[in-house]
């Protein structure tokens, strides 16, 4: 099993969710996060007081998937979330040791 | 009648009241006009709307989220205290009988002698007292804009009580009572530009300087936590201000209609000109800029509301807005004081521009309601004199009031409370859960 973490631009979330649904992803966890990478921050001005924020808002998607589906998921997210500009985000893939469905106690791939 | 035109607003009706009192022996008892009374009761609650929730939201949105409740609670509580003090002795000190040019006597303390049958001008005296009460309440609440995010709640209450007593009531008497000092000078102040805005703005600056800067100011970012609420508050202030300005005619008449149209157009002009000033300074036209401009315009048109033609008011709003923009975005950083929500930059500066500008836009050659022989130069001297006297009184009185608050309460929250926010530290609540 793989655990896929993708940091994407917030406005791409719906498109990514739809595309992942289309290739058989049954669930995901989404959080609003802030961070920085190569993309520069933005400047805010309130009554002349300038603040440059170096943390930009992003959306983090977490998906647990069987080994065979993982490459397809990574490819789909990469293609759908890309705008070909800096700040599009990153995808991380981790090995997942186990998974348990709380309701039934099922473990492994069947729990996903 | 000449007096009515020169003094405009509240003073005028008091003059006519004095005249009608003098003629009381021969004439019939002064009678209540139902139309005037209905309008003045409406105006009174409109001014109250400016405080709660108008000012509370306007100021609250500008603070950080950890100080939202503290900011709004200080405003509500200080305004409430002002109302109680007002009926105890404030009304008497400002509008009671006797006294001198600086303060009236205590004969109407606890509203002695005022009954539902008492008449002030053409409205019941209770309505007049309530209308004036809301002015006292909003003025002390305005001052708090500079001290939020670090002043103790208890200090606010002590300061409010002392400040109203030694600063607000005397100045209100001087401007609006026919025997008052500024009234005697012939200063033009339709709805309280000096009493309310210069007074509050200058007091706010003095209080902020004595209180000291917020921890981390100006290095640490302190952006407004909700400009949405600030925009809502701005709208409520603008709506409520029609009660403030048009209500200051103290009757439902042509003067009130002039104050009404000026309160529309001066404000509209100021909102747009602030955004224009931002563009010219190389920034983006902003929501906060629009809101700030709206308030600056409302402040500036307050003394001019019934003392200007609509086009004079438009120019006055624009000029005040641009000057206030520079005051908050250039002057404040240059001088380094921490007027947290720009009570001085908007109310103090805007009030001064409005007070002086009123001496200009009153001229009939500029579309104002002045008589043909009106001399701008002479009037400007009087206006500046009134401004300077207000600045001095507000400064001295605020120093005394703040030091009394400091002696009684310690004035400032601990560094821990300031870091955690005054909502938790002073009130044991959070605005957002």
Residue B245 has pLDDT above 50, yes or no: yes
Q: What is the pLDDT of residue B9?
A: 52
Residue B102 has pLDDT above 50, yes or no: yes
* CB neighbour list of residue B62: distance below 8 Å, 6 or more residues apart: B224, B230, B288, B340, B341
Q: For B38-88, what is each residue's pLDDT tens digit?
A: 999 999 999 999 999 999 999 999 999 999 999 999 999 999 999 999 999
Residue B144 has pLDDT above 70, yes or no: yes
Instruction: Give the whole-angstrom CA distance, residue B292 versus residue B270.
Output: 9
Q: What is the DSSP letter of B313?
A: H
ipTM value, please give it.
0.81
- Which residues in chain B have Cβ-Cβ distances shorter than 8 Å to A51? 221, 223
Residue A71 has pLDDT above 80, yes or no: yes
- Which residues in chain B have Cβ-Cβ distances shorter than 8 Å to A55? none
Q: Could you tell me if A93 and A3 are in contact, meaning their C-beta atoms sit under 8 angstroms apart?
A: yes
* CB neighbour list of residue B333: distance below 8 Å, 6 or more residues apart: A48, A49, B218
Q: Which helix (H) or strand (E) holds B161?
A: helix B153-163
B223·A44 Cβ contact <8 A:
yes
Q: What is the pLDDT of residue B15?
A: 46
Within 10 angstroms of residue B227's Cβ, the number of other Cβ atoms is 18
Residue B27 has pLDDT above 70, yes or no: no
User: A8 CA to chain B: closest CA distance, Å?
Assistant: 25
Instruction: Give the whole-angstrom CA distance, residue B278 versus residue A49.
Output: 12
Residue B98 confidence class, pLDDT cut points 50, 70, 90: confident
Residue A40 has pLDDT above 80, yes or no: no
* Mean pLDDT computed over B237-257: 97
Residue A36 has pLDDT above 60, yes or no: yes
Above pLDDT 70, what percent of chain B?
94
Residue B5 has pLDDT above 90, yes or no: no
* Mean pLDDT computed over B216-222: 91
- Which residues in chain A have Cβ-Cβ distances shorter than 8 Å to B282? none
Give the number of C-alpha atoms closer than 13 A to the C-alpha of residue B137, restricted to the C-beta side. 31
Domain ranges across chain A:
1-109
Instruction: Give the whole-angstrom CA distance, residue B132 versus residue B19.
Output: 21
Residue B2 has pLDDT above 70, yes or no: no
Does residue B218 have a cis peptide bond before it, meaning omega lies within 30 degrees of 0? yes
Q: For B357-405, what is each residue's pLDDT tens digit?
A: 999 999 999 999 999 999 999 999 999 999 999 999 999 999 999 999 9
Q: What is the DSSP letter of A61?
A: E
Q: How far is CA B67 from the centre of its chain?
A: 23
Q: Could you tell me if B109 and B89 are in contact, meaning their C-beta atoms sit under 8 angstroms apart?
A: yes
Gyration radius (Cα) of chain B, Å: 21
Q: Could you tell me if A47 and B61 are in contact, meaning their C-beta atoms sit under 8 angstroms apart?
A: no
Q: Does the beta carbon of B336 lie under 8 angstroms from any beta carbon of chain A?
A: no
Q: What is the pLDDT of residue A54?
A: 81
Above pLDDT 90, what percent of chain A?
79
Q: What is the DSSP letter of B29?
A: P
Instruction: Give the whole-angstrom CA distance, residue B245 versus residue B233.
Output: 18
Q: Considering only A28-37, B25-34, B61-70, B360-369, which range has the smallest mean pLDDT?
A: B25-34
Nearest CB to B328: which of A47, A51, A53? A47
A46·B224 Cβ contact <8 A:
yes
CATH level 3 topology of A1-109: Alpha-Beta Plaits (3.30.70)
Instruction: Give the whole-angstrom CA distance, residue B70 versus residue B150.
Output: 10
Residues shown for chain A: 112
Q: Which pTM was predicted?
A: 0.89
* Mean pLDDT computed over B123-130: 98
* CB neighbour list of residue B392: distance below 8 Å, 6 or more residues apart: none
Q: What is the pLDDT of residue A42?
A: 82
Q: How far is CA B26 from the centre of its chain?
A: 39
* Mean pLDDT computed over B144-155: 98
Looking at the DSSP bridge assignments, the partners of residue B120 are B123
Above pLDDT 90, what percent of chain B?
91
Give the number of C-alpha atoms closer than 13 A to the C-alpha of residue A1, restricted to the C-beta side. 15
Q: Residue holding tokens 């939202």?
A: B68
């Amino acid at each position: 099993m793989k655990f896929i973490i993708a940091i994407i631009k917030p406005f791409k979330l719906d498109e990514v969710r739809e595309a992942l649904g289309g290739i058989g992803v049954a669930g995901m966890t989404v959080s609003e996060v802030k961070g920085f990478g190569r993309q520069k921050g933005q400047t805010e001005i309130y009554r002349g007081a300038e603040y440059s924020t170096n943390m930009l808002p992003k959306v983090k998607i977490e998906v647990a998937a069987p080994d065979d589906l993982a490459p397809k998921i990574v490819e789909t997210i990469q293609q759908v979330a890309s705008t070909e500009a800096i700040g599009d985000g990153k995808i991380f893939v981790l090995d997942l040791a186990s998974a348990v469905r709380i309701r039934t106690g099922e473990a492994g791939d069947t729990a996903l | 009648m000449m007096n009515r035109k020169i003094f405009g607003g509240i003073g005028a009706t008091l003059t006519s009241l004095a005249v009608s009192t003098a003629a009381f022996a021969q004439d019939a008892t002064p009678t209540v006009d139902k139309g005037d009374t209905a309008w003045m009761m409406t105006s009174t609650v409109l001014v109250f709307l400016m405080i709660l929730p108008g000012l509370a939201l306007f100021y609250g949105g500008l603070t950080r989220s950890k100080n939202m409740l503290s900011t709004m609670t200080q405003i509500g509580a200080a305004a409430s205290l002002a109302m109680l003090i007002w009926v105890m002795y404030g009304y008497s000190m400002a509008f009671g009988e006797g006294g001198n040019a600086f303060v009236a006597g205590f004969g109407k303390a606890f509203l002695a002698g005022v009954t539902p049958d008492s008449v002030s001008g053409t409205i019941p005296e209770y309505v007049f007292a309530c209308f004036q009460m809301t002015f006292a309440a909003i003025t002390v609440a305005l001052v708090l804009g500079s001290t939020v995010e670090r002043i103790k709640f208890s200090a606010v209450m002590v300061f409010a009580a002392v400040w109203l007593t030694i600063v607000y009531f005397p100045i209100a008497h001087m401007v609006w009572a026919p025997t008052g000092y500024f009234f005697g000078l012939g200063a033009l102040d339709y709805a309280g530009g000096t009493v309310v805005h210069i007074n509050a703005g200058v007091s706010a600056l003095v209080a902020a300087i004595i209180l000291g800067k917020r921890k981390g100011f100006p290095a640490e970012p302190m952006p407004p936590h909700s400009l949405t609420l600030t925009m809502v508050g701005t709208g409520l202030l603008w709506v409520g201000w029609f009660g403030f300005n048009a209500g200051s005619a103290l009757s439902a008449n042509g003067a009130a209609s002039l104050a009404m149209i000026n309160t529309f157009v001066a404000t509209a002009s100021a909102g747009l000109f602030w955004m224009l000033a931002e563009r010219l300074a190389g920034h983006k036209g902003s929501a906060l800029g629009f809101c700030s401009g709206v308030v600056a315009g409302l402040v500036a048109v307050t003394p001019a509301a019934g003392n200007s033609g609509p086009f004079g008011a438009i120019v006055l709003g624009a000029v005040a807005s641009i000057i206030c923009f520079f005051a908050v975005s250039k002057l404040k950083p240059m001088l380094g004081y921490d007027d947290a929500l720009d009570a001085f930059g908007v109310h103090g500066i805007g009030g001064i521009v409005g007070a002086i500008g009123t001496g200009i836009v009153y001229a009939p050659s500029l579309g104002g309601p002045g008589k043909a022989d009106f001399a701008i130069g002479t009037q400007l001297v009087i206006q500046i004199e009134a401004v300077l006297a207000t600045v001095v009184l507000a400064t001295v009185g605020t120093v005394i009031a703040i030091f009394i608050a400091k002696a009684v309460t310690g004035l400032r929250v601990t560094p821990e409370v300031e870091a955690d926010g005054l909502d938790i530290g002073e009130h044991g609540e959070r605005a957002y859960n």
